[in-house]
Amino acid sequence: MNARFLPLAGFALVFALLGFGIWWSGRHDPREVPSPLINKPAPTFSLPTLDDPSKKIGNQDLAGQPYLLNVFASWCFACRDEHPILMQEGKRLGVKLVGFNYKDEPADAKRWIAQFGDPYDLIIADLPGDVAIDFGVTGAPETFLVDANGVIRYKYISPITPEIIATELLPRIALMKQGAPR
Amino acid sequence: MISCALRPSSSRRKPGPILLFGKKIKMDPGFRRDDGATLVARFLLATLLALSTFAHAIEPLPFKDHAEELRFQALTKQLRCLVCQNESLADSQAPLAADLRHDVFEQMQAGKSDEEIKRWLTARYSDFVLYDPPLHAATWLLWFGPALALIAGAGAIFVIVRKRARLATSTGATPARAADAEDDW
């Protein structure tokens, strides 16, 4: 090997490494916290519903069929972008859509729902935010897909888009309905 | 940092006439005079008050003793805030960080070790929550990559130097000259 080309080879190597870094960070959000809860049972919880705080909803109430848990709050700006998409596509998902009202005053949340519409089958409220920590929630909006056995199969951070619904959610929901969760 | 420095001065400030550019400004509670000077004074007051609430964002916790407080500070400095990700849990004013600080504190009170608390956090937020990445299969390259690069570089230099030395001897130079060539490198 001609030693004169060694520096060039070194340069090409560094160039390739940095190029890979740019390519990689374009496809991955480095701020996104990976969830260790994927393919693990959803944390145990029992939370009051937004409409009736005396009524509690827990894992066993939701077991038996898959559901989509959508973390939202009236203080969350990005949730306003996401909301119309849930209004349009929510019913077409074919799973129960559970609203998870995160660290929100019930009155504010109810006003928000009254103003923008209610895409949810039911809404549970976590005012202290303890259950959210068990779910590894870092903010709103975040969305969890839970299968009929109560196992978290997918998590998406930031507002859901029609593209995410088509490419990530619907195929997984279809698999769950076939009874072959991956 | 700035907010911490501001807190004592704003809380120690005694109520009295507000001075603006050396002039006393009357704040008459019965009559709202919205002239320019009053507006400026109101603005300054509002800014000060806003800063003082900002300084209280990191809530005081009822520590048993100073040792416990030091342990808490040391532990939360090693943990990353999930919201403002370049801040530690000790410094962050995000509401989630406040909740997590509370959880860490409660677990310390319950007698959990630092390792147990870290495990509790990583079970929810993955290794992302730790500033110091633990050693396992996925972080192997991160930990030993620099050492590997160093060894590879040293190996490359060794090979090149030996090649040059051999080149020097094969062209009729004495071993001593070859050593000179190495020095030149």
User: Domain check: are A25 and A102 in the same one?
Assistant: no
Q: Is residue A49 part of a domain?
A: yes
Q: Is residue A108 part of a domain?
A: yes
The SS3 call for residue A7 is helix
Q: B126, A3: Cβ pair inside 8 Å? A: no
Reported ipTM: the value is 0.83
Distances (CA, A) of A169 to A12, A121, A153, A172: 40, 18, 10, 5
User: Domain check: are A85 and A13 in the same one?
Assistant: no
Q: Is residue A110 part of a domain?
A: yes
Helices (H), A90-180: 106-116, 130-134, 162-164, 170-177
| Non-local CB neighbours of A130 within 8 Å, separated by 6+ positions | B99
Which position has the higher pLDDT, A2 or A158? A158
Taking contacts as CB-CB distances below 8 angstroms, the residues of chain B near A33 are 82, 125-126, 128-129
User: Domain check: are A25 and A36 in the same one?
Assistant: no
d(CA B167, CA B74): 58
Angle at B121 between CA B116 and CA B127, to 5 degrees: 105
| Mutation target among B119, B128, B159 for the A interface, most CBs of A within 10 A | B128
Report whether pLDDT(B15) > 60: no
User: Domain check: are A26 and A36 in the same one?
Assistant: no
Total residue count of chain A as it appears in this document: 182
Distances (CA, A) of A161 to A98, A165, A171, B31: 17, 6, 15, 54
What mean pLDDT is predicted for residues A25-29? Answer: 85
Report whether pLDDT(B1) > 50: no
Q: B126, A134: Cβ pair inside 8 Å? A: no
**Interval A46-92: pLDDT, tens:** 999 999 999 999 999 999 999 999 999 999 999 999 999 999 999 88
In angstroms, how far apart are the furthest CA atoms of chain A?
Answer: 80
CB-CB contact of A135 with A84 (8 Å)? no
Q: Is residue A182 part of a domain?
A: no
- CB of A7 within 8 Å of a chain B CB? The answer is no
User: Domain check: are A97 and A17 in the same one?
Assistant: no
Rounded to the nearest angstrom, the gap between the alpha carbon of residue B44 and the centroid of all alpha carbons in its chain is 31
d(CA B107, CA B110): 5
The domain containing residue A51 runs over which residues? 31-177
- Gap from A134 CA to chain B (nearest CA, Å): 6
User: Domain check: are A110 and A173 in the same one?
Assistant: yes
pLDDT at A180: 53
pLDDT at B5: 30
**Interval B64-100: pLDDT, tens:** 889 999 999 999 999 999 988 889 999 998 899 999 9
| Domain CATH code at residue A84 | 3.40.30.10
- CB of A105 within 8 Å of a chain B CB? The answer is no
User: Domain check: are A143 and A114 in the same one?
Assistant: yes
- Gap from B11 CA to chain A (nearest CA, Å): 29
* Nearest-by-CA chain B residue for A31: B85
* Nearest-by-CA chain B residue for A136: B124
Specify burial of residue B173 (Cβ count, 10 A radius: 0-12, 13-18, 19+).
middle
User: Domain check: are A16 and A50 in the same one?
Assistant: no
d(CA A123, CA A101): 7
pLDDT at A73: 96
User: Domain check: are A13 and A59 in the same one?
Assistant: no
- CB of B86 within 8 Å of a chain A CB? The answer is no
User: Domain check: are A65 and A24 in the same one?
Assistant: no
> Based on the structure, what is the number of domains in chain A?
2
User: Domain check: are A66 and A105 in the same one?
Assistant: yes
- CB of A134 within 8 Å of a chain B CB? The answer is yes
Angle at A135 between CA A133 and CA A141, to 5 degrees: 90
Report whether pLDDT(B11) > 50: no
| Non-local CB neighbours of A160 within 8 Å, separated by 6+ positions | A70, A82, A85, A86, A141, A143, A169
Record the pTM: 0.71
Distances (CA, A) of A107 to A73, A80, A104, A112, B165: 11, 17, 8, 9, 83
Angle at A98 between CA A35 and CA A33, to 5 degrees: 15
Q: Is residue A38 part of a domain?
A: yes
CB-CB contact of B125 with A138 (8 Å)? yes
Taking contacts as CB-CB distances below 8 angstroms, the residues of chain A near B99 are 128-130, 133
Q: Is residue A8 part of a domain?
A: yes
**Interval A130-167: pLDDT, tens:** 999 999 999 899 999 999 999 999 999 999 999 999 99
B44 pLDDT band (50/70/90 cuts)?
confident
**Dihedral of alpha carbons A52, A58, A63, A68, sign:** positive
Tell me the one-letter amino acid at B172: G
Report whether pLDDT(B13) > 50: no
Q: A133, B103: Cβ pair inside 8 Å? A: yes
User: Domain check: are A25 and A53 in the same one?
Assistant: no
Taking contacts as CB-CB distances below 8 angstroms, the residues of chain A near B96 are 129, 133, 138-139
